[in-house]
Chain A
Amino acid sequence: MTPETARTIAVDVNGVSYEREVEARKLLIHFLRDDLDLTGSHVGCDTGNCGACSVLLDGVLLKSCMLLAVQADGTSIRTVEGLGSDGELDALQQAFADHHALQCGYCTPGMLMSASWLLERNPRPSEEEIRRAIQGNICRCTGYVNIVRAVQAASGQEVSE
């Protein structure tokens, strides 16, 4: 309640509990990358446009550069490192690889989080729904063509021409 410039927060990230003191000004993305060494989520802009830092916070997809780390106190976070299990790829990750939905791979973690969130809520999305779901994730390599195909494939649908 009392305003503070730093506080100790507790978060669960990908099933692991962390307790850390963090400056109030620190963005969640910097906390994940620099304090917790979870470097899978990336920074591609400084205005919340690119979505490379997208994570699930208590199951809700958002951009971790648009949130202070202190705001995540008491939440459960899922990042790209939490996809798949035992080092094996999940169906979506595998579809990204199969359909060449990544080139440099920098946007990929955020893109996967957005696509995962979509498929959790909409198991058979249309092409338009897929594009809307990844609208907040900029990719400079693929033109999104193969990303759309990968999400279609991961949802067991026919892949667009």
Chain B
Amino acid sequence: MTETTVTPERPLVVEETETKPGFVGQNVPRKEDKRLVQGQGVFFDDVKRHGMGYVHFVRSPYGHAKIRSIDVARALEVGGVYGTLTGDEVAILTDPFFELSTPPGAHIKDYALAVGKVRHVGEPVAAVVASSRELARDASELVEVEYEPLPALVDGEAALAEGAPILHEEAGSNVVWSGLFDWGDFEAARAEADHVVKIERLHFDRFSSTPLECSGCLVEYNRGTGQWTMYCNHQMPGVGAIWMAPALRVGIDKLRFVTQDIGGAFGNKICLHPQFVACCLLARKLNRPIQWTEWRTDQHTANAHGNERTFLDVEVPVKADGTMLGFSVRAVDDCGAFPRYEPLGCIIWAQVTPGCYRWRNIRVDFTQVVTNKSPVSPNRGYSRMQHLWLTERIVDIVARELGLDPVEVRKRNYVRTEEMPYETPNGCIYDSGDYARCLDIALELIDYDQLEERRRDAEARGKLLGFGIGSTLDSGTNNFGQSTLLNPELQFSGNNEVATVKLDIFGEIVVTLGTVPQGQGHETTAAQVVADILGCTPDDVNVRPGHDTYWNSHAGLSGTYASQFAVTGLGAVKGATEKLAAEMRKLASLVLGCSEDDIELAEGQARMKANPEAALPFMALGAILNANNAGLPTDLDITLNARYMYRPPFELPDKERKYGNLTLTYATQIHACLIEVDPETGGYEIVDYAAVDDCGKRIHPQIVEGQVHGATAQALGAATHEIFAYDEDGNLLTPNFYDYHVPHALDMPPIKNGYIESESPFTPLGAKGMGEGGGAGIHAVCAALQDALGKTVTRSCNPYHRVWELLRSEDRGVTVQAR
């Protein structure tokens, strides 16, 4: 049977696969949409409470400075000001946030507000609460802070230099974490190679997904119970609570996170604990609800950037036939002023150590440093994207140096479909996929066979045509055991997600999720899975929007991150629904006087297979157990309220060898693009673009395609204009959407989509996590620029001025050593 496609009139390429009829795999209408297109969504800033106070943070104007004094007296004199909070109070009332790193990073002290020192422009040093947003800002201007400026550090490599200013004296070094990863035998590979290609320096620039809704919360404190409720847009409350509760010196159940609709997050709403703790303290201190809305400039200057990474001294041993044997590299990762979620980025890349390739000998000397820039946070494609940019740059730079065809050299080095499941040199298991086939589809979509003709046509118009490929993997469902490869003392491993499914008194099926959706359509896809198991329609399934800690449908690692909902979230939904279905069959069998095996669930009823007339509507089942249960056997142990925790099948990784399976699934993205460069100006345009995706079984093809579009747009923005650039004093030069240009509608090329479905053998539904992508668009544009210009591209973001500089530059930094 042929797969249903998104819109059959479009040229989707779909594998022939076996499917069973049902709602899974269909584009059912999204449950979320009706409220959202009517402006009836509830985002955190829509929530109001009687007597609430608005908080405004006083932020550092310096990249690096000592705080000599803070005086809030004048602010407190303003009518309508409810109170303030300073770093001194925070240092007394809270403990520093838990650090994940071993020393030196372990010694870093990170608080809700700056204590004693500021380390980046925009860092909150005090907070003022007032009766209106405007008044809070007015009063914050009256807070007098005396600073003693210190030299700022805005370059990751400079952070390692002798005599560099030290950001965190307690750590005694700007290094957060460093370590050597050495798999296979790189020296032997170098000896075996016919050529060794050396690349001096590649730099992955700083940017972020910049969700359109900034961060924020409304915090209520219950004095009687000591509990805080946060109406917010935190995307990973389980981990947020692990940071916040010890800092606030309370049990974890004192923190209730509530979300409904979230205006995008992309990882950027994981590290909100400092601001939330400040709001919690204020709610308790001032005994009123506290509202914090982050504005765009705040988000850009002081919230969540993606990791910036420099790759030095790359060496690639290559055989005469173009077979690459691996690579070695020294990586310096710049995480900004505080590690927060870091140093996890120092291992996350290792999920995709060899990229899409059969490389067996890989040595990575990885160091992460702090600088006087905004702290980083996971950002769509987190840490893998930077690494995959390196693998793709390696392939295209080697191809250029050795005169190899970028298509052929990829196919020669790609992991092959017959090798799946494939174990990488560091023990990760690529579950399934066919990279070469995806590439062929992408090439077909952009009419690759007409490339030379199009090149000539562009030339005739004074343009340089460039062709580029980006081959990436989206590794989904983390094994948190990888954290122990950074810090053996950490007590995290495996992964989990929870869902509950219940049958209510009137027969309503109610699903609660532990996840925290931000546009991924969890309400819809969860309903598809439930409907197929219970024999009803998605319309019959009420999936509660958002997340509420008090629903008790979450676990410690709950959240929406790391491309995993289709595996963990829906795995939990499937497990809970199967438990509920078994209970429903059992109850029905007792009522109908038959065996459980004689009962089937279909058409909203539990009925006898042999005699469908003998049926109990769901409503009857719900009513009998919940309201009319006299006479049921006393030993009947059912609740019609099933909670299930899905745990992916993971082992603990080997800490000595830094070896083990770090993620459960590997979705493939192979993108290809054509660009046209105006050689006079350096301006360029993407003129053709294809994105081929393989995420195994697609639960809802339209949602999958939407994620591909979004990941592509973000990658194209990052490749062309989006960059968080700083001056030498640590001022962010792109603090708003004026200077930080994200793609608008006229900037986006049409995107041609193709799919294959290589089901994962390891997941409950054959699906793989997807959504983050691997930044394939960045890699493809860099490759296309290199092709068009005939110059080695060494930066991930190439605005027009860089292209113009490249055109005029001597090509430097790459050498080939023949053996």
Q: How far is the CB of A159 from chain B (nearest CB, A)?
A: 7
Given A138-B742, A145-B751, A103-B37 contact (CB < 8 Å)? no
CA distance A142 to B744 in the complex (A): 11
For B706, the chain A residues whose CB sits under 8 A away are: 100, 103, 141-142, 146
For A144, the chain B residues whose CB sits under 8 A away are: 713, 743, 745, 748
Identify A140's interface contact among B34, B40, B211, B705, CB under 8 A.
B211
Within 106-134 of A, Cβ neighbours of B (below 8 Å) are at: 106-109, 112, 130-132, 134
**Number of contact residues on A: which range applies?**
35 or more
Whether A106 and B263, one on each chain, are in contact in the complex, defined by CB atoms closer than 8 angstroms, is yes
Within 687-715 of B, Cβ neighbours of A (below 8 Å) are at: 702-703, 705-707, 709-710, 712-714
Whether A141 and B712, one on each chain, are in contact in the complex, defined by CB atoms closer than 8 angstroms, is no
CA distance A148 to B519 in the complex (A): 18
Within 714-738 of B, Cβ neighbours of A (below 8 Å) are at: 714, 736-738
Whether A109 and B713, one on each chain, are in contact in the complex, defined by CB atoms closer than 8 angstroms, is no
Q: Mark A71-113, 1 if CB is under 8 A from B, else 0.
A: 0000000011101100101000100111010111111110010
- Subset of 7 A-B contacts with CB under 8 Å: A38-B39, A40-B40, A80-B38, A103-B707, A105-B33, A105-B41, A140-B713
Given A132-B746, A137-B745, A144-B748, A42-B213 contact (CB < 8 Å)? yes
Whether A89 and B737, one on each chain, are in contact in the complex, defined by CB atoms closer than 8 angstroms, is no
Whether A49 and B745, one on each chain, are in contact in the complex, defined by CB atoms closer than 8 angstroms, is no
Q: Is B591 an interface residue (CB 8 A)?
A: no
Whether A44 and B296, one on each chain, are in contact in the complex, defined by CB atoms closer than 8 angstroms, is yes
Given A40-B38, A44-B296, A141-B264, A102-B746 contact (CB < 8 Å)? no
Q: Is B367 an interface residue (CB 8 A)?
A: no
For B29, the chain A residues whose CB sits under 8 A away are: 97-98
Given A30-B133, A45-B296, A159-B7, A141-B37 contact (CB < 8 Å)? no
Identify A104's interface contact among B27, B37, B48, B212, CB under 8 A.
B212
For B263, the chain A residues whose CB sits under 8 A away are: 42, 44, 104-107
Whether B750 and A161, one on each chain, are in contact in the complex, defined by CB atoms closer than 8 angstroms, is yes
Given A42-B263, A104-B264, A50-B737 contact (CB < 8 Å)? yes
A-B contacts besides A81-B40, A146-B709, 8 pairs, CB < 8 Å: A39-B45, A87-B38, A96-B37, A104-B519, A108-B37, A131-B748, A132-B745, A140-B714
Whether A135 and B519, one on each chain, are in contact in the complex, defined by CB atoms closer than 8 angstroms, is no
Whether A47 and B37, one on each chain, are in contact in the complex, defined by CB atoms closer than 8 angstroms, is no
Nearest 6 CB-CB pairings of A with B: A40-B39, A106-B263, A105-B36, A104-B519, A143-B713, A103-B519
Q: How far is the CB of B235 from chain A (nearest CB, A)?
A: 11
Identify A139's interface contact among B38, B40, B212, CB under 8 A.
B212
For A79, the chain B residues whose CB sits under 8 A away are: 39
For B751, the chain A residues whose CB sits under 8 A away are: 143, 145
CA distance A54 to B296 in the complex (A): 17
Q: Is A160 an interface residue (CB 8 A)?
A: yes
Whether A103 and B212, one on each chain, are in contact in the complex, defined by CB atoms closer than 8 angstroms, is no
CA distance A100 to B40 in the complex (A): 17
**Number of contact residues on B: which range applies?**
35 or more
CA distance A45 to B300 in the complex (A): 10
For A142, the chain B residues whose CB sits under 8 A away are: 706, 709-710, 713
Q: How far is the CB of B292 from chain A (nearest CB, A)?
A: 14
CA distance A154 to B32 in the complex (A): 20
Residues of B within 8 A of A (CB): 7, 9-11, 27, 29-30, 32-43, 45-46, 48, 133-134, 209-214, 261-264, 266, 293, 295-297, 518-521, 702-703, 705-707, 709-710, 712-714, 736-738, 742-746, 748, 750-752
CA distance A153 to B211 in the complex (A): 27
Given A25-B134, A41-B39, A106-B43, A135-B745 contact (CB < 8 Å)? yes
For B35, the chain A residues whose CB sits under 8 A away are: 105
Q: Which residue of B lies closest to A23 (CB)?
A: B134
CA distance A81 to B36 in the complex (A): 10
Whether B36 and A161, one on each chain, are in contact in the complex, defined by CB atoms closer than 8 angstroms, is no
Given A41-B39, A107-B212, A100-B703 contact (CB < 8 Å)? yes
Q: Which residue of A lies closest to B10 (CB)?
A: A161
Whether B752 and A161, one on each chain, are in contact in the complex, defined by CB atoms closer than 8 angstroms, is yes
Q: Which residue of B lies closest to A30 (CB)?
A: B133
For B748, the chain A residues whose CB sits under 8 A away are: 131, 143-145
Whether B264 and A138, one on each chain, are in contact in the complex, defined by CB atoms closer than 8 angstroms, is no
CA distance A80 to B521 in the complex (A): 21
For B33, the chain A residues whose CB sits under 8 A away are: 96-97, 102, 105
CA distance A53 to B266 in the complex (A): 22
CA distance A87 to B523 in the complex (A): 21
Q: Is A4 an interface residue (CB 8 A)?
A: no
Q: Is A70 an interface residue (CB 8 A)?
A: no
Identify A46's interface contact among B34, B261, B297, CB under 8 A.
B297
Q: How far is the CB of A18 from chain B (nearest CB, A)?
A: 17
For B737, the chain A residues whose CB sits under 8 A away are: 45, 47, 49-50, 138
CA distance A37 to B41 in the complex (A): 13
Q: Is A43 an interface residue (CB 8 A)?
A: yes
Q: How far is the CB of A126 from chain B (nearest CB, A)?
A: 13
Interface centre among B27, B34, B261, B709 (most CB of A within 10 A): B709
For B39, the chain A residues whose CB sits under 8 A away are: 38-41, 79-81, 83, 109
Given A40-B40, A134-B745, A161-B750, A106-B738 contact (CB < 8 Å)? no
Q: Is A13 an interface residue (CB 8 A)?
A: no
Q: How far is the CB of A5 from chain B (nearest CB, A)?
A: 11
Whether B43 and A83, one on each chain, are in contact in the complex, defined by CB atoms closer than 8 angstroms, is no
Q: Is A147 an interface residue (CB 8 A)?
A: yes
For A136, the chain B residues whose CB sits under 8 A away are: 744
Identify A45's interface contact among B32, B36, B713, B736, CB under 8 A.
B736
Whether B30 and A81, one on each chain, are in contact in the complex, defined by CB atoms closer than 8 angstroms, is no
Given A131-B746, A159-B7, A161-B750, A140-B710 contact (CB < 8 Å)? yes
Q: How far is the CB of A58 from chain B (nearest CB, A)?
A: 20
Whether A104 and B745, one on each chain, are in contact in the complex, defined by CB atoms closer than 8 angstroms, is no
Whether A108 and B36, one on each chain, are in contact in the complex, defined by CB atoms closer than 8 angstroms, is yes
For A89, the chain B residues whose CB sits under 8 A away are: 34, 37-38
Interface centre among A34, A132, A161 (most CB of B within 10 A): A161
Q: How far is the CB of A138 from chain B (nearest CB, A)?
A: 6
For A50, the chain B residues whose CB sits under 8 A away are: 212, 296, 737
Q: Which residue of A lies closest to B295 (CB)?
A: A46
Given A83-B38, A161-B11, A104-B262 contact (CB < 8 Å)? yes
Interface centre among B38, B297, B751 (most CB of A within 10 A): B38
For A23, the chain B residues whose CB sits under 8 A away are: 134
Q: Is A52 an interface residue (CB 8 A)?
A: yes
CA distance A37 to B40 in the complex (A): 11
For A107, the chain B residues whose CB sits under 8 A away are: 212, 263
CA distance A40 to B41 in the complex (A): 7
Q: How far is the CB of B703 from chain A (nearest CB, A)?
A: 7
For A104, the chain B residues whose CB sits under 8 A away are: 211-213, 261-264, 518-519
